[in-house]
């Protein structure tokens, strides 16, 4: 079963990622560093270790494997994306942002440490992502490494994840703008494509870069990743209304409380479910050129649509 294929990939990636992060965040200073202050390192470890589905690293691995590439390259590219994802969660949880006390059932970084440490831990995690990509263990060819850097930077910046997070706060009326409920569906889709989609798309793209995919394959994978990213967010919105806090590991029903515009709010639960099915189909259709070899990526699309947290 395809889902099993991707679940295997997820499980393997989770173990490899956890252990690689543990090494990456070891107390010994790396070459070119002075010392690693213990408190900062501990906060980074708190943010990164002991949890997380490692969906993004698994997507890198599954996309690279489509071209016969596995091993340390996809693992390290996955670490880099996971560091950017982790930094964004640490900063999103801050009192000035979403003000969350819990993340994956554990205290958020600013609750376990303090706000200043959480800000710096997020900052240092973003830096670490690029440090990891620049290292020649990621790929022997500098041109491949710099393409990974460019892809991740474009996905994370003002026109990607960080920009999407700002639009998300604006949609909550945080900057005195109009009511969130008035947002058009295409605005919600764009916001979510930036906030969540960009990094998921970058995961697939980075796998394709490591696999030295040709332009046609890159285009097909881009369409796949776009649909996958959108499906992820619709599934997330559905979880927010349907999930129980115990399963989801964070507070639920927050979107409604925040007056946040979501697809569920615009189309209702059934409409959102239909949209999720359509997006999943779009993702599967985009994989048609790859035949059997793309089964793990198909499994990823089904996993994203069916996940319960």
Stretch that binds its own copies, among 58-66, 90-98, 209-217, 270-278 (CB under 8 A): 90-98
Nearest-angstrom CA–CA distance, 225 and 197: 8
Q: Can residue 156 be called a binding residue for its own copies (CB under 8 A)?
A: yes
In the region spanning residues 186 to 205, those forming contacts with its own copies, defined by CB under 8 A, are: 190, 193-194, 198
Stretch binding its own copies (CB under 8 A), from 101-109, 126-134, 212-220, 273-281 = 126-134
**DSSP 8-class letter at 180:** G
Q: Does 96 bind its own copies (CB under 8 A)?
A: yes
Rg (CA), the chain: 19
Q: What is the nearest approach in angstroms of its own copies to the Cβ of residue 187?
A: 10
Calpha distance 78→206 (Å, rounded)? 9
For residue 22, what are the contacts with CB-CB under 8 A and spacing of at least 6? 45, 49
CA distance 158 to 274: 31
Look at residue 52 and give its three-state secondary structure. coil
Q: Which of 11, 30, 179, 274 binds its own copies (CB under 8 A)?
A: 30
120: contact with its own copies by CB under 8 A: yes
Q: Tell me, letter by letter, the H, E, C secondary structure of 19-36.
A: HHHHHHCCCCCCCCCCCC
Cα–Cα dist 142/192, whole Å: 32
Binding to its own copies by residue 180, rule CB under 8 A?
Answer: no
Q: How far is the CB of 298 from its own copies (least distance, A)?
A: 26
List residues near its own copies by CB under 8 A. 29-37, 39-41, 44, 87-88, 91, 94, 96-97, 114-117, 119-120, 122-124, 126-128, 130-131, 133-135, 141-143, 145-147, 149-150, 152-160, 162-163, 165-167, 169-170, 174-175, 190, 193-194, 198
């Amino acid at each position: 079963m395809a889902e099993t294929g991707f679940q295997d990939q997820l499980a393997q990636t989770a173990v490899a990622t956890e252990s690689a992060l543990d090494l990456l965040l070891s107390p010994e200073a790396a070459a070119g560093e002075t010392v690693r202050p213990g408190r900062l390192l501990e906060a980074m470890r708190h943010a990164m270790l002991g949890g997380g589905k490692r969906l993004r690293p698994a997507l890198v691995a599954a996309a690279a494997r489509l071209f016969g590439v596995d091993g340390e390259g996809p693992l390290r590219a996955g670490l880099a994306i996971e560091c950017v994802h982790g930094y964004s969660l640490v900063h999103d949880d801050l009192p000035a942002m979403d003000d969350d006390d819990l993340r994956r059932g554990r205290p958020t970084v600013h609750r376990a440490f303090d706000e200043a440490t959480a800000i710096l831990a997020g900052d240092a995690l973003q830096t670490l992502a690029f440090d990891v990509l620049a290292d020649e263990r990621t790929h022997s060819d500098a041109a491949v490494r710099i393409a990974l850097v460019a892809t991740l930077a474009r996905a994370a910046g003002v026109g990607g994840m960080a920009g999407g997070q700002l639009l998300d706060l604006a949609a909550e009326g945080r900057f005195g703008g109009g009511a969130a409920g008035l947002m058009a569906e295409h605005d919600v889709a764009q916001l979510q494509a930036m906030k969540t989609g960009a990094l998921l798309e970058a995961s697939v793209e980075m796998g394709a870069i490591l696999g030295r995919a040709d332009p046609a394959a890159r285009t097909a994978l881009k369409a796949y990743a776009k649909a996958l990213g959108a499906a992820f967010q619709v599934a997330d919105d559905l979880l927010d209304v349907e999930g129980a806090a115990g399963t989801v590991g964070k507070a639920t029903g927050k979107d409604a409380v925040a007056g946040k515009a979501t697809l569920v709010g615009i189309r209702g639960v059934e409409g959102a479910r239909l949209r999720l099915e359509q997006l999943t189909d779009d993702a599967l259709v985009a994989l048609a050129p790859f035949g059997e070899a793309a089964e793990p990526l198909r499994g990823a699309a089904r996993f994203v649509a069916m996940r319960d947290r």
